[in-house]
């Protein structure tokens, strides 16, 4: 089981690379430098653009650049874009609301671990990686 998927991983690498360049970066350039499939890289950058982490520029001379400073791009945020809400502690007993909730020892302990993990993940930014 992987906690970080390929698209998250590639997104992080791309963001690191882009953050080191003042000028716009094209998909072609990223594909060449990172060795990631072209279409896949493109889709990932488009998603980051929609989430307002990147700005895009169409046409000749176009490409992508960061829309927000690298110190404000958190790994946990990128994970959530590509992997959805991450949770240790959802209850599978009974469909809707668990009657045992609040009393459940497992959930309590897992929630603590989860909180700690999120806190640590929040401290990793693109700025801290380059």
Partner DNA sequence: ATAAATGATACCACAATAGTATCATTTGTC
Partner DNA sequence: GACAAATGATACTATTGTGGTATCATTTAT
Instruction: Catalog residues that contact DNA under the rule CB under 7 A.
Output: 1-2, 5-7, 26-28, 37-40, 42-43, 45-46, 49-50, 56-64, 83-84, 92
Q: Among residues 3 and 68, whose Cβ is nearest to a copy of itself? A: 3
What's the token pair of residue 12?
């992080």
Residue of 34, 68, 86, 106 interacting with ligand FES (CB under 6 A): 106
Rounded CA separation 104/108 (Å): 6
Q: Decide if 52 contacts 68 (C-beta within 8 A).
A: yes
Nearest Cα neighbor of 27 from 48, 6, 50, 45 is: 45
Q: Which stretch binds ligand FES (CB under 6 A): 33-41, 57-65, 99-107, 110-118?
A: 99-107
């Amino acid at each position: 089981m992987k906690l970080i998927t390929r698209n998250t991983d590639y997104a992080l690498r791309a963001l690191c690379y882009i953050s080191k360049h003042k000028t716009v970066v094209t998909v072609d350039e990223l594909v060449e430098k990172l060795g990631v499939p072209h279409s896949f890289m493109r889709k990932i950058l488009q998603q980051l653009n929609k989430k307002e982490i990147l700005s895009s520029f169409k046409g000749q001379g176009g490409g992508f650049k960061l829309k927000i400073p690298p110190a404000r791009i958190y790994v946990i945020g990128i994970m959530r874009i590509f992997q959805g809400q991450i949770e240790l502690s959802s209850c599978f007993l009974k469909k809707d609301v668990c009657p045992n909730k609040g009393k459940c020892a497992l959930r309590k302990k897992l929630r603590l671990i989860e909180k700690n993990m999120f806190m640590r993940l929040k401290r990793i930014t693109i700025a801290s990686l380059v």
